[in-house]
Amino acid sequence: MNLTQNNTSIQAGQSTGGGGGGGGGGGGMWVTSLLGATLITMCVLGVAGNVYTLAVMRSAVLRRAGSMYVFILNLAAADLLYLGTIPFVVCTYFAHNWFFGETGCRLLLSLDLLTMHASVFVLVAMSLERYRAVAAPFRARRSTPRAHWLVALGIWGAAFLLTLPMMVMIRLREGRPSAVGLVKRICFPTWTPEAFKAYLTVLFFTSMLVPGLVMVGLYAGLAKRYWAAQANLARRGAGPNRGVVRSSSSLSRRRGLKHKVVGMIFSIVVAYWACFLPFWGWQMAKLFSSESLRMLSPATHTYINFFVTCLTYGNSCVNPLLYTLLTRNYKDYLAQRGQSSGSSRVDQGSAAGGATQDL
């Protein structure tokens, strides 16, 4: 992850810039090698998975589906951008030097923040759209693909604005030449420690805490409405009207597919939290409890940095599996919906009770 990478690169550059002991020497080299091999493997698997996701999303059925197509497309694009930074990260870890110039500092080390915010904002948009489909199904169905693309554009714009301070304030710094004339370069934020702490705190709120609470609230409301809809369906099913048995069976199959869709969206949200919360917990601990962390050895700091780095990149590898499952479930749901619409018309009571229509 970007901030962990920055800290590690800065420490490595400072410790070796004057020709002292390198962070990758001795017992640390095997850890760096393991991290490099792990990240490269994640890069290959993640890129392949996300490219496959984009290929699956070429389905004409899903392109007509609206928000699901738009949001998964943007999530996959964010993952590909994030995974694209891995070769530069691995090179920096092994060389303990930055070879990509000041432009590389500004772009590559800000890309993580950009894709992180874009991903979580898209997840919030997916959760909100799912909630609208249940709470206000007729209004949700009136949403156009153009509106969804405008939302996606606004998401990337907001992510860019939150990333802009990092892009502006980071600089390339050169260390003192070593005994053999080697000059180490590092990417270094130029603002004061207090300003940097404030900025990271804002990023924690915008990329983790606030979106997470919003999604929890949306899914709590979604669960409440599902329980109410199930209760209404059960009461209708207990009635004497036998003519609706076939329609109820069709509705039950469609409802099961909708539950799978909701479950997959929820799994993507949980995966994001599981992969990024340890990173942010570690960053906040270093910001606000740095004294208590001094009892940890430098090797322990390195291992934790490597662990949270692998977790954040692991999210981009897990997501394609979830996207594919979600895509297939949603295609099944659309197919089932198309079959049932030709054989029966859902009355207004069924539409209100089973208002889980479009994503």
Is residue 13 within 8 Å of residue 284, measured between CB atoms?
no
CA distance 261 to 263: 5
Q: What is the mean pLDDT of the chain?
A: 74
CA distances (Å), 127 to each of 122, 204, 235, 351, in order? 9, 20, 28, 21
Domains and CATH numbers, the chain: 2-236+245-338 (1.20.1070.10)
**What's residue 114's pLDDT?**
93
Give 118-121 contacts, CB < 8 A, sequence gap 24+: 118/74, 118/78, 118/155, 118/156, 118/159, 119/75, 119/78, 119/79, 119/82, 119/272, 120/207, 120/208, 120/211, 120/272, 120/276, 121/155, 121/158, 121/159, 121/211
For 349, the token pair is 């009571």
pLDDT band, residue 203 (cuts 50/70/90): very high
pLDDT band, residue 21 (cuts 50/70/90): very low
Residue bearing the bigger pLDDT, 347 or 149: 149
Closest CA to 311 of 263, 358, 275: 275
In the chain, the percentage of residues whose pLDDT exceeds 90 is: 11
Interval 268-324: pLDDT, tens:
778 888 888 999 999 888 888 888 888 888 888 888 888 898 888 888 888 877 766
**What's residue 252's pLDDT?**
60
Least confident of 58-67, 88-97, 226-235, 296-305: 58-67
DSSP-derived letter for residue 189 is E
Least confident of 27-31, 185-189, 289-293, 333-337: 333-337
Least confident of 190-204, 263-277, 325-339: 325-339
Least confident of 28-42, 88-102, 260-274: 260-274
Closest CA to 117 of 155, 69, 148, 165: 155
pLDDT band, residue 18 (cuts 50/70/90): very low
246 has a pLDDT exceeding 60: no
CA distance 21 to 281: 29
CA distance 159 to 212: 16
* Alpha helices (runs of H) in 137-209, residue ranges in sequence order: 137-141, 145-169, 193-204
- 174 φ, ψ (degrees, to nearest 5): -105, 140
345 has a pLDDT exceeding 50: no
Distance of CA 157 to the CA centre of its chain: 16
Interval 135-152: pLDDT, tens:
776 666 677 778 888 999
Residue bearing the bigger pLDDT, 282 or 245: 282
238 has a pLDDT exceeding 90: no
